[in-house]
Amino acid sequence: MVKVIDYKAGNAPSVMHAINRLGYNAVFARHGSELADASYILLPGVGSAGATMESLRELNMIGALEDAVLKRKTFFLGICVGMQILFQHSEEDDADCLGWLKGKVTKFDASKVRVPQMGWNKVIFAESPVNNANEGYFYFVNSFHAKPENRDDLWGTADYNGQFAAAVHRDNIFATQFHVEKSGEAGLAILNGFLKLGEGADSC
C-alpha cells in the first residue's frame, strides 16, 4: 500500500493528486502506527527542517519510519525538505535530522545567487532503477541544499552557482530536492518509476 505522510509542514495533497493522476491507490498516514502495512512511503515537504522534524515527532513517525525504511526496507521517496531531513544536520533551524545519510544541509550563498532558488533547473542523473532518462528539467523551490559525504549517495545533480545534490539514492531510499509533483511529465515519470519498484503499487 502507498502511504503519503500528511503533516503540518508537508505538501501531501499535491503529492496525492499526482499519485492518483498516475492511476495508483494511496492513503494519507497521519500517525506512525499507520506505516505498518506500507509498501511505499512518500514524505513531501514545503516547510523548514526544524518544523518538519517536530511534526514527525508529534505524530510518532520517526521510530515508525526507521522501522519501515531501515529495517523492513520499505521503498521510500522524500521530496524537498523530505530529502533534506535524511541527512544528519541542517543549518535551517539548526536542526538535528534523521541521519539516514551522512552529510549536512547548508544554505545557498545569497551574495551570489537569488535565494530561494525558485523555478526550473536541469538535473543530470546517475543510473537508478527509477528513471530511464539521464537528464531533465524539474521544478525547485529551495533555499538550502544537501551536501552528502558519500558521493555514491548522489543520484542527481543540478547547477546553481556550482553543482548541488538534486536527488539522492541508497538501496530502498530515494529522494529529490525538486518537486516531482510540480515538475510536469518529467516529475510524473520519476514518481511512476518509484511506484513500479518491486512488485509495483496497486492501481486504481
Q: Which residues are catalytic?
A: 80, 179, 181
Largest CA distance in the chain: 48
Torsion over CA: 103, 91, 64, 40 (sign): negative
Which amino acid, one-letter code, is at 65? L
C-alpha to C-alpha distance for 29 and 164, rounded to whole angstroms: 31
99-130 as b/e: b if 16+ CB within 10 A: ebbebbbeebeeeeeeeebeeebebebeeeeb
Rounded CA-CA distance 138/122 in Å is 6
Other Cβ atoms less than 10 A from the Cβ of 52: the count is 30
